[in-house]
A and B are shown apart, each in its own frame.
Chain A
């Protein structure tokens, strides 16, 4: 008998612009001790499925149109809000993507952990504390007795997610719903959290619904997989079958889009050096302690013409700061940056401004890096007109040529950024970066905010443009698979220091540093 049985669930949103169906006739079953993964890209309705079952869909505008969700024989969708609330957080628990926003910054971790026990289960504070500390130990939080009285900001991202898991499990639920629980985490931390979830699931015989966009993460975890697209389930199967013989075209497309393979690096020893960074140091003033924190520590490297140089590291390793300080968007403490025969760090802003067209940047988030009040035309024409690279009389043609280059439809020229999808926006941002015909582009996580199929297209575009315009690129990323498929050489960064630089094939076949090894081992694999 199934623990949770969802039948013909349909949820839609009624807005001024009409009705959109977020979840369209979805059915699935989940037994005790089973792990079900719901996989899909953004907007596929995978999270909305879970929210509908738990009565967490914002209403209005959301509305559950039809369906049943039998949990232990009772229909969740027919329950009153009060009944549902008593089941949520006791029999069904949920963990979310961003552990920071889900913890109250004003209460200690301990207080938040024992809350459900004290208020819902009528335990004494003493009993509850004992139980909480036991669970904290079980979820891998060291020194739980002391940590019990710490505040959320004193925990790292991974530790916070452990707290969230402890919080979810404290009422001994039968079903755990995890909504992208590792997406905001670094890859080594992700590996730890995934193995923790798996271990807890086994020891408690928990049923788990694991919502993710990442097929590789799901592979080592789930018993069966539901692939969703546009609110519908397009394929359901046992995990091994999904990966071995995907039936639906969309599943095949998803699997094909996962970056794989290794770039065979070209021999660039003969080509000229475009960028030379030596002994770069950057630090920030920490307002709380008044001390200077080192973000970039004595970094030196060179970048050759036509080379794509990868810069990998986890969050806080200083990889973005390196990119920004080369462009003088962040002031450096010391060091030298040689580009186009000049030493950039010593240039005045006025002189630097003249060089900037040759040295461009692509940002991570295409929703933030485009001015929402400027059309595609404005955005792409601005650098050309400002630097006198085009005349007003033929600016249209140059902008249109640029749009062709990055694969944007010409008819979109008068549209504003919000009218585009994430991938198209990133195309606009890339178009802006190449508009001035730069020699070097610094790409800061250009594909990490994008869905995997879109990511593949953007990566292909980048490769194509690098060849067409013989660009050199510093490619900053946390995603090792992407870097491996794209870059000629890779630098590994940890706490502001470069640990290792090597040609891509050498780095993967023979990583020298221990940190690099653990980084490479942590990456979930889609192929065995």
Chain B
């Protein structure tokens, strides 16, 4: 009877992910990271309803004031409520960070896997394309995109993702190159499985470790890139803001009004911590060898 139960526990075929989820739930830090991230996302989504003020609501007479009961995070030079600005900024930053990273992940993993697995001439051509794109100054690339498609926040996500996938593709390719020569891949070929099946079930799952680690590193990179582009006037426009922009403005007035740097900085750090814990937890959870149960 026990044998039957053992099998019924999990869906056949989805067991790596089912097991990974089971293991992830036992990792306290990862669960904490996931929780913090979820809370941040929910808060960002609900910003219009929970923010105490309007994000463009100025009070020039008030000017920059330190944190108080009326303004928990203080106010900026225009007298705008920082808590509100951080809440709204989180919408942009989280969206850019997660969506652009996801775009980079999808393109990079697909590209790198195909190049690495097929090898030979296909690999050479695909990787030279990556090299050529690397050589292109990405600011020019993004300006080009903006010129052709017009400026929109959605395009910003795509543009950043389209730049960030290059490194991802290289990492994945290197992983796949070593994995495709392992005997279990040869065994899968001898078994008569098709190439897409082998890639999906045998190659990609075994290269997930570095992919996840790099993805968690990409998120902050992307958020800062967005701030940089916005600073140049290519990203989001005032009075809208993001954590990256708030930080770069805050850094300018650090000595007079440190709260303008501290609070958006804290919000960004909290996100990164949560992501790193979650990323490490995911990597371990997806590797059955790391720990038993």
Chain A contacts to B: CB under 8 angstroms: 324, 327, 329, 352-357, 360-361, 363-365, 368-375, 377-378, 381-383, 385-387, 392, 395-396, 400, 410-411, 413-414, 416, 418-419, 429, 432, 436
Contact = CB atoms under 8 A, between A and B. Distances in A.
Interface stretch (B36-44, B181-189, B261-269): B181-189
A204 to B, nearest CB: 43
A197 B133 CA distance: 60
B183 A382 contact: no
Contacts of A419: 292
B286 to A, nearest CB: 7
Nearest to A436: B191
Contacts of B10: 414
B190 interface: yes
B206 A371 contact: yes
A371 B202 contact: yes
24 contacts: A329-B190, A352-B192, A353-B192, A356-B191, A357-B191, A360-B190, A361-B187, A368-B184, A369-B187, A372-B184, A373-B205, A373-B286, A373-B287, A373-B288, A374-B16, A374-B201, A375-B15, A382-B191, A382-B193, A386-B192, A413-B6, A414-B15, A416-B289, A418-B288
A449 to B, nearest CB: 11
- Per DSSP, chain A at the interface is helix
A365 B183 contact: yes
Contacts of A324: 186
Contacts of B193: 353, 382-383, 386
A369 B9 contact: no
Contacts of B205: 371, 373
B233 interface: no
A356 B3 contact: no
| Closest A-B pairs by Cβ, 8 of them | A356-B192, A369-B183, A368-B183, A416-B288, A353-B192, A371-B184, A361-B190, A418-B289
Interface size class of B (residues with CB under 8 A): 20 to 34
B7 A386 contact: no
A361 B12 CA distance: 24
- Per DSSP, chain B at the interface is helix
A24 B265 CA distance: 57
A368 B182 contact: yes
Contacts of A364: 183
Contacts of A357: 191-192
B8 to A, nearest CB: 9
Contact of B12 (A377, A400, A429): A377
B2 interface: yes
Interface string B171-213: 0000000000011101111111110010001100110000000
Contacts of A381: 12-13
The residue in A352, A364, A410 that gathers the most chain B C-beta atoms within 10 A of its C-beta is: A410
Given A400-B3, A413-B7, A363 B183 contact: yes
A522 B187 CA distance: 33
Interface in B1-37: 2-4, 6-7, 9-10, 12-13, 15-16, 19
